[in-house]
């Protein structure tokens, strides 16, 4: 009797100890060794796969460790979960030391107060703000406040077009106005082949294009007091224009309304199923998808002709990735050293060349790799006709509510319902109400 009871007690004690042991072995961000700390770095998915990013970053990280003795534990986070993981890290206080963020998230993330603010003192530790392109630096936080992150990769939207298919259809140059694009698209839409591919199921692709078209119409999604102004005639016209590619102009395949993974429209373009796509700088991805480089042409996104009253010659939003540091990091100086390394001229040249994006520091542009026609086009777009997304704290709510509303409008158009301006206005009005509760 007694030995069995002792065994039972021991069993119970072991069971009780297991969760306690698990709790105490929770991982901490950053090492305890003062001389050789380990940084945790959350990288975003810039390449064609998570493994691809690990392979691109590994030699650069090794170089950093050789130079400074600081080890870096790199985790590549997919876009579908990056914002959620950043949110969780903000709430729990347990996160990485350094991380990539989408630059349009900067104003919202700044409002959480969880990130190091790059005041002039901090900025001087990573090389000073004058090294960065003005355009890239404009999308790093709320206006009037210090940047909440430094720009790492710069991207802009361009109109990619298939030179071979254009030549075969007798079109000599890429469209400069929307009317020309629709005419070209109609010529190229036949027999299962389409003129323009759209990632209609993706929140970010939809909202970026809606913002660009709204700027061209002279519209704005927030007023100067940061209050939402979604349901305006200009914004309605911009969104209606997007839906009309599919339902009225018929240059976009209705099946594109399902494209939500962030890769399908570009793949359709790379495999020759569509002749045009509006996408961020993607030289690296197109090469990996097997497209013949001679067929790849890029031009600025078209403009309306004539430009509506109040309309701006904006063909892209300031896209890009910023590098941020968590305020709660235990390795502040090591983290800032890593930021300085990643934004140093040699690293900017190497990484942006691999990813096909644009360096955020002006010194890197002396590298001949960035003198190709495509890069020159994107650089002029970024410096001449790009505007940052609204720099308000509710920016990510705006992206999600309006982007999702556009997804549903595309689904309606694809399944046979006619989307009218009134329906667009109502969708934008409902999205705005969700912001104000």
Partner 1 sequence: MVDTIRAEQPVAASAPSPPRSRRRRRELLPYLLLLPAICLELLIHIGPMLAGVGISFLQLTQFYLSNWRAAPFAGTANYAVALNLNGATGQALLHSFTVTVFYTILVLAISWTFGLVAAVLTQRSFRGRGLVRTVFLIPFALPVFASVITWNFMLQQQTGAVNRILLALHLTRGPPFWLIGPNSFYSLVIVAVWRTWPFAFLILTAGMQSIPADLYEAAALDGAGIGAQVRHVTLPLLRPVNRVLLLVLFLWTFNDFTTPFTLFGSAPPTQADIISIHIYENSFVSWNFGTGSAMSVLLLLFLLLVTGVYLAIGQRGERHA
What residues line the site for partner 1 (CB under 8 A)?
1, 5, 8-9, 12, 15-16, 18-19, 80, 83-84, 87, 90-91, 93, 108-109, 111-114, 201, 203, 254-255, 257-258, 260, 327, 393, 396-397, 400-401, 403-404, 407-408, 411-412, 414-416, 430-431, 433-434, 437
Q: Please spell the DSSP secondary structure of 361-382, one letter per residue.
A: BGGGGGSGGGGSHHHHHHHHHH
Q: Which is nearer to partner 1, 207 or 213 (CB)?
A: 207
CB-count burial class (<10 Å; 0-12, 13-18, 19+) for 415:
exposed
Query: To the nearest whole angstrom, how small is the minimum distance from the Cβ of residue 90 to partner 1?
Result: 5
Instruction: Give the position of tokens 């001389």.
Output: 35
Query: To the nearest whole angstrom, how small is the minimum distance from the Cβ of residue 3 to partner 1?
Result: 14
Q: Which is nearer to partner 1, 367 or 412 (CB)?
A: 412
Q: Roughly how many angstroms between the first and final C-alpha of the chain, as a whole number?
A: 65
Query: To the nearest whole angstrom, how small is the minimum distance from the Cβ of residue 434 to partner 1?
Result: 5
Q: Which is nearer to partner 1, 93 or 143 (CB)?
A: 93
Token pair for 160: 């990619």
Q: Which is nearer to partner 1, 186 or 417 (CB)?
A: 417
Q: Which is nearer to partner 1, 15 or 33 (CB)?
A: 15
Q: Which is nearer to partner 1, 84 or 421 (CB)?
A: 84
Give CA–CA dist 101/115, Å, rounded.
11
Query: To the nearest whole angstrom, how small is the minimum distance from the Cβ of residue 144 to partner 1?
Result: 17
Instruction: In the chain, count H helices and then E strands.
Output: 17, 12
Q: Which is nearer to partner 1, 193 or 327 (CB)?
A: 327
β-pairing, 98-102 with 319-325? antiparallel
Q: Of 107, 114, 58, whose CA–CA distance to 85 is shortest?
A: 114
Q: Which is nearer to partner 1, 163 or 193 (CB)?
A: 193
Query: To the nearest whole angstrom, how small is the minimum distance from the Cβ of residue 330 to partner 1?
Result: 16
Query: To the nearest whole angstrom, how small is the minimum distance from the Cβ of residue 114 to partner 1?
Result: 4
Helix 345-355 to helix 332-342 angle (10° resolution) is 60
Assess contact for 202 and 282: CB atoms under 8 A.
Answer: no
Half-sphere exposure for 221 (CA within 13 Å, toward CB)? 29
Cα dihedral 112, 113, 118, 119 in deg (nearest 10): 130
Q: Which is nearer to partner 1, 19 or 293 (CB)?
A: 19
Assess contact for 139 and 389: CB atoms under 8 A.
Answer: yes
Radius of gyration of the chain from its Cα atoms, rounded to whole angstroms: 24
Q: Of 388, 427, 431, whose CA–CA distance to 228 is shortest?
A: 431
Query: To the nearest whole angstrom, how small is the minimum distance from the Cβ of residue 279 to partner 1?
Result: 20
Q: Taking the CB of residue 231, how many other CB atoms lie within 10 A of it?
A: 17
Query: To the nearest whole angstrom, how small is the minimum distance from the Cβ of residue 435 to partner 1?
Result: 8
Distance of CA 383 to CAs 136, 138, 158, 358, Å? 9, 11, 13, 12
Query: To the nearest whole angstrom, how small is the minimum distance from the Cβ of residue 267 to partner 1?
Result: 12
């Amino acid at each position: 009797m007694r030995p069995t009871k002792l065994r039972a007690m021991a069993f119970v004690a072991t069971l009780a100890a297991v969760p306690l042991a698990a709790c105490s072995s929770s991982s901490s961000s950053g090492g305890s060794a003062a001389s050789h700390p380990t940084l945790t770095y959350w990288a975003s998915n810039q390449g064609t796969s998570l493994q691809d990013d690990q392979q691109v970053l590994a030699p650069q990280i090794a170089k950093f460790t050789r130079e400074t003795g600081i080890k870096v534990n790199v985790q590549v986070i997919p876009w579908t979960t990056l914002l959620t993981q950043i949110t969780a890290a903000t709430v729990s206080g347990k996160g990485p030391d350094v991380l990539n963020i989408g630059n349009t998230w900067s104003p919202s993330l700044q409002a959480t107060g969880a990130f190091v603010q790059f005041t002039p003192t901090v900025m001087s530790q990573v090389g000073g703000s004058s090294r960065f392109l003005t355009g890239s630096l404009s999308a790093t936080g709320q206006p009037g406040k210090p940047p909440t992150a430094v720009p790492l990769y710069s991207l802009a939207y361009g109109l990619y077009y298939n030179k071979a298919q254009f030549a075969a259809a007798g079109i000599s140059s890429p469209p400069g106005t929307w009317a020309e694009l629709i005419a070209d698209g109609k010529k190229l839409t036949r027999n299962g082949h389409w003129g323009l591919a759209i990632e209609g199921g993706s929140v970010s692709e939809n909202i970026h294009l809606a913002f660009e078209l709204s700027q061209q119409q002279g519209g704005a999604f927030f007023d100067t007091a940061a209050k939402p102004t979604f349901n305006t005639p200009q914004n309605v016209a911009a969104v209606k224009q997007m839906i009309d590619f599919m339902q009225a102009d018929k240059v976009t395949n209705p099946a594109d309304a399902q494209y939500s993974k962030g890769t399908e429209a570009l793949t359709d373009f790379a495999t020759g199923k569509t002749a045009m796509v509006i996408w961020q700088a993607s030289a690296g991805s197109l090469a990996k998808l097997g497209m013949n480089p001679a067929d790849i042409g890029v031009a600025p996104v078209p403009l309306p002709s004539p430009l509506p009253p109040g309309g701006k010659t904006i063909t892209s939003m300031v896209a890009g990735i910023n590098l941020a540091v968590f305020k709660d990091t235990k390795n502040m100086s090591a983290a800032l050293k890593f930021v300085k390394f990643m934004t140093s001229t040699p690293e900017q040249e190497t990484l942006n060349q691999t990813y096909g994006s644009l360096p955020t520091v002006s010194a890197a542009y002396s590298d001949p790799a960035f003198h190709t026609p495509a890069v020159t086009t994107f650089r002029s777009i970024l410096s001449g006709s790009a505007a940052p997304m609204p720099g308000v704290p509710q920016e990510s709510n705006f992206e999600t509510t309006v982007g999702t509303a556009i997804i549903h409008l595309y689904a309606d158009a694809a399944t046979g319902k006619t989307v009218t301006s009134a329906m667009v206005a109502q969708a934008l009005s409902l999205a705005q109400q969700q912001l104000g509760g």
